[in-house]
Amino acid sequence: MSEIINGKAVAAEIRKTVLERASAFERKHGRKVGLAVVRVGDDPASAIYVKNKIKACEECGIASYSHCMGANTSQAELIELISTLNADACVDGILVQLPLPKHIDERETLSVILPEKDADGFHAVNAGKLFLGERDGTVACTPRGIIELIKSTGVGIEGKRAVVIGRSNIVGKPVAALLLEHNATVTVCHSKTVDLKEITRQADILVVAVGKKHFVTADMVKRGAVVIDVGMNRDESGLHGDVDFDGVKEVAGYITPVPGGVGPMTVAMLLLNTVDGAGA
Ligand code: NAP
């Protein structure tokens, strides 16, 4: 039977630090740390994420500047807004909520954000710094949060065999780079991986970012492993992870729930990236 990793509690500790740092910044500079949150279109999930992020800013002493643009917004209009925010001295961090409508090129748009204002850590400069082992870049929020959750278990990462399922630019690749940075031996699996179960069963640390409800089952997990479930799969019965929690918790040593695991950490790390970016 595993220990449940309480993402809400770990996130609350981080938020406390953010509030202290943001308050100290305000006393020193006479203004709040500022985060601009940009949303384009009417994706309902994005609306919920943005609302949560704005609420989290308020609770942690960060000013949020919300920009909701219509679904027909052109790429040029979005880039113009980002350029204005880049030049705004009250804006320390910029977040463009993904996904963007299909007619907008995500990569090109994100590349316009100044790397030092890139609160999400998705800019090529920041992603590159992570892979080069340069520590002065912004690390993407979810991967940064995942590392904190693993550390919260007290299980050391160094020397461990870590397996990541998923190779997206926002989760799989950066979390693999961070685990490597922490001296784990890392294997990255994806949809073309052969004998996935053989690989995952060797993992002391298993990070799952696939986007398929209950994809990882108990027979794929090594006894005592740390299992981090990144998945957020919504259906009529609610929010579900990529891990079959009820089965896997009987085998794993530590496991994150969904909700209440990685999700709260992603928001906390966005706030932390924002105060970091402000130099608070
Ligand atoms: P993504 O871009 O769709 O990537 C999914 C990855 O899973 C791909 O690399 C894909 O392989 C791999 N995959 C798909 N089917 C597979 C299979 N049968 N066997 C092995 N690998 C397989 O997803 P993402 O953006 O990384 O997100 C993953 C999940 O995390 C989603 O549920 C998302 O909502 C959630 N998420 C949560 C948070 C949070 O804060 N909690 C943040 C971000 C994402 P290929 O590359 O070969 O296609």
108-137 pLDDT, tens digit each: 999 999 999 999 999 999 999 999 999 999
Q: Is 42 exposed, middle or buried (0-12, 13-18, 19+ CB in 10 A)?
A: exposed
The answer to whether residue 219 is catalytic is: no
Whether pLDDT at 41 is above 90: yes
Catalytic residue among 32, 92, 117, 120: 120
pLDDT at 223: 98
**Confidence class of residue 232 from pLDDT cuts 50, 70 and 90?**
very high
**Cα distance from N-terminal residue to C-terminal residue, the chain:** 41
Instruction: Please report which residue ranges of the chain form alpha helices under DSSP H.
Output: 7-29, 44-59, 75-87, 106-110, 124-132, 141-152, 172-181, 196-200, 245-248, 262-278
| Ligand 1: centre distance to CA 59 (Å) | 30
* Residues 246-255 pLDDT 10s: 999 999 999 9
Residue 1's pLDDT band, with cuts at 50, 70 and 90, is: confident
Q: pLDDT by residue (tens digit) across 208-229?
A: 999 999 999 999 999 999 999 9
92 is catalytic: no
- The whole-model pTM stands at 0.97
> How much distance in Å is there from the Cα of 83 to the middle of ligand 1?
31
Q: Return the closest-CA partner of residue 97 out of 63, 143, 54, 126.
A: 54
Q: Which residue, by CA, sits nearest to atom 5 of ligand 1?
A: 210
Residue 261 has φ and ψ, to the nearest 5°, of: -115, -100
What is the percent of the chain where pLDDT is above 90? 99
Report which of 97, 99, 101 is spatially closest to residue 72, judged by C-alpha positions. Answer: 101
Q: 239 alpha carbon to ligand 1 midpoint, in Å?
A: 15
Q: Residue 36: beta bridge partners?
A: 65, 94
Q: Name the closest-CA residue to atom 2, ligand 1.
A: 168
How far CA 218 is from CA of 104, 251, 271, in Å, comes to 40, 6, 34
**Under DSSP, is residue 215 helix (H, G, I), strand (E, B) or coil?**
coil
Q: How far is the CA of 142 from the centre of ligand 1 (A)?
A: 12
Long-range contacts of 80-88 (CB under 8 A, 24+ apart): 81/38, 82/38, 82/109, 82/112, 82/113, 83/112, 85/36, 85/38, 85/117, 86/112, 86/113, 86/114, 86/117, 88/34, 88/36
Residue whose CB lies within 8 A of the most ligand 1 atoms, among 212, 232, 271, for a mutation test: 232
Q: Residue 241 and residue 221: Cα distance in Å, rounded?
A: 15
| Contact (Cβ atoms closer than 8 angstroms) between residue 149 and residue 167 | no
Q: Which fold has domain 141-262?
A: Rossmann fold (3.40.50)
Topology of the domain comprising 30-114? Rossmann fold (3.40.50)
Q: What is the pLDDT of residues 80-100, one digit of tens each?
A: 999 999 999 999 999 999 999
| Structural domain boundaries in the chain | 30-114, 141-262
Based on the residue annotation, tell me whether 120 is a catalytic residue of this protein.
yes
Backbone angles phi, psi at 189, to 5 degrees: -110, 160
C-beta of 195 in contact with ligand 1 (< 6 A): no
> Best of 167, 168, 194 to mutate for ligand 1, by most ligand atoms within 8 A of CB?
168
Among candidate residues 257, 261, 251, the one with its CA nearest the CA of residue 220: 251
